[in-house]
Structure 1
Amino acid sequence: MTTNASDLGTEANVFESDVAGVTVRGKAHSLSVWFVLALRLMMGYAFLHSGWSKLAAPEPFDAAGYLTHVPAASPLSGLFHWMGTTQWFVEFVNVAVPWGEFLIGLGLLVGALTRMAAFFGAFMMLLFYFGNWSVEHGLVNGDFAYMLVFLAVAAFGAGRILGLDALVERYRLDGEPLVERYPRLRYVLG
C-alpha cells in the first residue's frame, strides 16, 4: 500500500510558521530542493574561494584599513573605527575573517554543520553590510541579499540535501539517533 501525504493528514512540500500570532503557509515546488542546494553550493564556493584567496595571498591579510575607512554615514562607523584602531581586535579580525570565510565555505560545500556555518556567514554579511554602507540606491544591496541567502540556507536545512549533516543526523549512538540524544545539535546541523 502506498501512503501519500493526504493519508497522513499533511501535504508534501508544505511549510508553515506562526510568529506573533501571524501564520504564514507556503508550498514549495518539488524542484525547490535543487535551488536550495544550488544556493548552499554557490555561497560555499564564494566563501571558500574568498577565504582561500586571503590565506594564500603573498601578503598577509590586514583588515585595519577596511575597518578604519568605513563610511561615516554608517550607523556603526564608530564601532568599526574602534575595531580598526584597537590592535588586539585587528589581529583577531586578521585571523577570523580569512579562516572564517574558508571554514564557512567548506562547511557549506560539504553540507557539514550547515546551520552554524550559515549563521556565521549571515553575521559576517551583516557586518559587511554596515561596513560597506551605501544607501544611495536603497537599503538593500548585495551584502544584505547574501545575508538573506545564508539565512535561507539555514532555514531550509540545506545540509540535509546531499550533505554530511544528513549522515550525522541519522548516526545512531547506542541505538538512538544522535540528534534525539543531543537535540541541540539541530541548531548547528541541517
Structure 2
Amino acid sequence: MVKFLRNNKVASIILAIIRIYLGIEWTLTGWEKVTGGASGAVKGLLSNAIKNPVKGPTGKVLYPWFNSMLSAILPHYRGMSYLVSWGELLVGLGLIFGCLTTAAVFFGLMMNFSYMLAGAISVNPEYIFLEYFIIIAGFNASKIGLDYWVIPWIRTHIFKQHSSRNSIWD
C-alpha cells in the first residue's frame, strides 16, 4: 500500500483530488475566520475545553497536560485566534496548490489533533484519515501541484548550498 501511494501515477491523481478537497475545506474555514474575526470562537473553544475537558468512562480527565496548556493560552486568545485563522487558511492554500504539501498536511494534522484533544470532534477524524494518506505518500501526493517545481528547487538551491559549507562536522 505504501509503495502504491508513493510511486503510482494513479495514486498521485487520487491523492491530488483528496488534497484539493481538503484544501478547499481548510481554506473556506480559515477564510471565514480571517474575514469574520474568529477571536470570539477561539475564546469560546478554549473556555469550553477548560470547563468541560475530555473525560474517560470513569469521569477522569484524559488529557490534563493539554488542559493546563489551554489554561495558559486562554489569556492570549486573540493571538491564538490569529494563528488558528491564518494557519487554517495557509494549510488550505498549500493543499490546493500542492505547495509545501507535507508541511501543510503536518500542520493540518496538528490542528486536527488539537481540536480533538479539546473535545471538538466535528470533521477532524475524517480529515485525519485523509491527511494520513497524503503524508504517507510524500512527494507523490504533490506531483500534480507546485511541489513538482518547488521541491527540486529547494533541494538544489537550499540544501545543496547548506551542505557545501564547511562545518565542524566535516
**TM-score under structure 2 length normalisation:** 0.72
Deviations 1:3-57 (A, max 9, x none): xxxxxxxxxx9718xxxxxxxxx89875322211111101110000000011111
SS of the residue corresponding to residue 39 of structure 2 reads: coil
Point out where structure 2 has 5 or more consecutive residues left out of the alignment.
Answer: 56-60, 164-170
Match of 2:153 among 171, 185, 188: 171
- How many residue pairs end up in the alignment? 153
Report the equivalent of 1:61: 39
What does 1:1-190 align with in structure 2 at a 5 Å threshold? Answer: 15=3, 31-57=10-36, 59-62=37-40, 63-70=42-49, 71-72=52-53, 73=55, 75-76=62-63, 79-80=66-67, 82-84=69-71, 86-132=73-119, 142-156=123-137, 157-158=139-140, 160-171=142-153, 177-178=156-157, 181=160
In structure 2, relative to structure 1, the CA distance for the partners of 1:183 and 1:108 (3 Å cut) is farther
Quick one: structure 1 residues 27 and 86, their matched pair in 2 at CA, closer, same or farther if it must change by over 3 Å?
closer
The change in CA–CA distance for 1:66 and 1:78 in structure 2 (over 3 A counts) is farther
Equivalent position of 2:166 in the other structure: none
The structure that has the greater radius of gyration is: 1
How far is 1:178 from its partner?
3.8
Cα gap change, 1:30 to 1:81, in 2 (>3 Å):
same
2:167 paired residue number:
none
Distance in 2 (CA, whole Å) between partners of 1:111 and 1:27 is 15
When normalised by structure 1's length, the TM-score is 0.65
Report percent identity of matched pairs. 20
Query: Per the alignment, do residues 60 and 37 of structure 1 end up closer, same or farther by CA in structure 2, a change over 3 Å counting?
Result: closer
- By relative contact order (CA 8 Å, sep 6+), the higher-ranking structure is 2
Change (3 A) 1:86 1:166: closer
**Which of the two has greater strand per residue?**
1
More helix by share: 2
How big is the alpha-carbon RMSD for the aligned residues of Structure 1 and Structure 2? 3.4
